[in-house]
Amino acid sequence: MLFFLFFLAFQAILLAAWVSGYLDPYQKHLQELLLDYMGETKVSYGLKKSLTGKKLTEDQNLSKIQDQLGNQLGDMFGKRGLGEGIGSVLSKGL
């Protein structure tokens, strides 16, 4: 029972810290670590998600072209891509 009360108190404190904005720097740092682990930058990940997320047409061939274009453009600004420097600089500003 004591463990459950401790857990509830910890959850309440964590929720209050999240709502008040104290966890934002840590959340941003964790996001950067995870993207770096995946070999992405914020720019490359955003490009991939925005270009491949919403299909412009219901034609499967055009959807495949859209997915390939989004992935290749995102990879270009990711780690080990041609625009890695640009992607890293732009990601720092986001």
DSSP string computed for 27-46: HHHHHHHHHHHHT--HHHHH
Q: pLDDT band at residue 94, thresholds of 50, 70 and 90?
A: low
For 8, 10, 12, 18, the CA distances from 4, given in Å and listed in that order, are 6, 10, 12, 21
Query: Which helix (H) or strand (E) element contains residue 94?
Result: none
Contacts 24+ apart (CB under 8 A), 61-67: none
How does pLDDT run across 20-63, given as a tens digit for each residue? Answer: 888 888 888 888 888 888 878 887 888 788 777 777 777 888 88
pLDDT score at 89: 67
Percentage of the chain with pLDDT > 90? 11
pLDDT score at 55: 77
Q: Mean per-residue pLDDT for 4-8?
A: 91
Q: What is the dihedral of CA 63, 40, 29, 52, to 10 degrees?
A: 0
Which comes out higher in pLDDT, residue 16 or 62? 16
Q: pLDDT band at residue 8, thresholds of 50, 70 and 90?
A: very high
